[in-house]
């Protein structure tokens, strides 16, 4: 089992490094300057994290945060920024791309016919690989950039799946987290592809930088696991305010609402409204996804209100809410994956918490 954990930790980080190096290679091909190979040095941070994790954690994950995912973002995002802001990669001619592919295919057929049979299969494989690499180099830059975006998001999900989990997160919670990441990745990819492909947007460099900033900000949710983990609070006697108790009971739900409002749907909505109102960029898909962001924000605010009202009601009408100046826990634990013994522990931790402003129903006076 330890060997499998070690293998998963190393293979996942190796995939991260390889994808990051492909992004750096595309930047050097586009910019035609070898100095951009220095971006590959960012992978040294991931190598350092690998060594420290293997030494101190035996390859297992950390609580609430994945350093490997975060360092993968650091090593890959700069390359995507440079590719998106490069002027010559904004548009490409399909006709030119078609003729280049036909030319490369003809060159490959001529090479195959002119290759002597006595050189063997190894020489033929090497020449085929060389032609294949040359064909990849002629692919339109927008296609390359979109492909890097897609594989980047896919590797974030697959890598989080393959990375060994720590003792603080269960496999059920990990499956929930991965399903959330799939939907999140689709929204992020749609946001970048739908906005950056507009010609009026491409000609405005400040707007391109703003879109990339929002995109980078939305990617920061991938290293975090708080969306499925309940924060176990040990409340003291002084910690009796309703917001503190609400956070302890609904920490995962509140984190999901915060991600939607402040990291993903909220910023996406603001930027799309700016595109439509100030820059007059209006199309059918932009209007649809703007309406979708408005609906999601409204539903998240509605859920926040429902959670708050339900929690206050549970404080006021719990039968044993005040006995001898102490209060019991206002609710059962949020994490249903815990065994019953841990539920009892959480209930004991919530005892002896006086309520200052909670009224006592008349039937209990």
More confident residue, 147 or 5: 147
Residue 225 buriedness (CB in 10 A; 0-12 / 13-18 / 19+): buried
The pLDDT tens digits of the residues spanning 179-217 come to 999 999 999 999 998 888 888 888 888 999 999 999 999
pTM: 0.77
Q: How many Å apart are CA 25 and CA 131, to the nearest integer?
A: 18
CB 42 within 8 A of CB 75: yes
The pLDDT tens digits of the residues spanning 221-256 come to 999 887 676 666 665 544 456 677 777 777 888 888
- The DSSP 8-state label assigned to residue 6 in this structure reads H
Q: Which helix (H) or strand (E) is 267 found in, with range?
A: helix 265-277
The pLDDT tens digits of the residues spanning 323-357 come to 344 444 444 444 444 444 444 444 444 443 444 44
CB 59 within 8 A of CB 4: no
In sequence order, what are the residues at sequence separation of 6 or more whose Cβ sits closer than 8 angstroms to the Cβ of residue 98? none
Give the lowest-confidence range in 62-66, 84-88, 118-122: 118-122
Task: Examine the pLDDT at 10 and tell me if it is beyond 90.
Answer: yes
Residue 99 confidence (pLDDT): 37
């Amino acid at each position: 089992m330890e060997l499998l954990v070690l293998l998963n930790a190393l293979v996942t980080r190796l995939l991260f490094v390889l994808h990051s190096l492909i992004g750096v290679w595309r930047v050097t091909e586009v910019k035609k300057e070898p100095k951009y190979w220095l971006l590959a040095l960012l992978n040294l941070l991931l190598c350092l994290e690998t060594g420290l994790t293997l030494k101190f954690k035996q390859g297992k994950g950390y609580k609430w945060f994945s350093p490997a995912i975060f360092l993968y973002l650091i090593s890959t995002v700069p390359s995507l920024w440079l590719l998106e802001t490069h002027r010559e990669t904004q548009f490409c001619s399909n006709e030119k791309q078609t003729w280049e592919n036909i030319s490369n295919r003809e060159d490959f057929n001529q090479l195959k016919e002119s290759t002597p049979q006595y050189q063997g299969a190894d020489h033929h494989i090497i020449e085929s690989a060389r032609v294949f690499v040359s064909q990849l180099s002629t692919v339109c830059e927008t296609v390359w950039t979109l492909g890097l975006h897609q594989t980047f998001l896919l590797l974030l999900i697959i890598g989080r799946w393959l990375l060994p989990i720590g003792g603080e997160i269960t496999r059920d919670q990990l499956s929930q987290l991965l399903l959330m990441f799939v939907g999140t990745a689709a929204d992020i990819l749609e946001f970048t592809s739908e906005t950056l492909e507009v010609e009026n947007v491409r000609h405005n460099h400040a707007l391109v930088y703003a879109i990339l900033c929002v995109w980078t900000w939305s990617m920061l949710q991938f290293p975090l696991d708080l969306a499925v983990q309940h924060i176990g609070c040990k409340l003291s006697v002084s910690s009796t305010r309703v917001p503190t108790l609400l956070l302890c009971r609904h920490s995962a739900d509140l984190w999901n609402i915060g991600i939607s409002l402040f990291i993903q749907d909220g910023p996406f909505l603001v930027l799309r409204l700016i595109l439509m109102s100030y820059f007059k960029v209006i199309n059918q898909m932009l209007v649809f996804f703007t309406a979708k962001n408005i609906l999601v924000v409204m539903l998240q605010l509605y859920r926040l209100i429902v959670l708050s009202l339900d929690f206050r009601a549970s404080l006021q009408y719990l039968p044993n809410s005040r006995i001898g100046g102490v209060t019991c826990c206002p609710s059962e634990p949020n994490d249903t994956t815990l065994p019953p013994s841990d539920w009892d522990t959480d209930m004991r931790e919530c005892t002896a918490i006086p309520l200052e402003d909670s009224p006592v129903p008349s039937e209990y006076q």
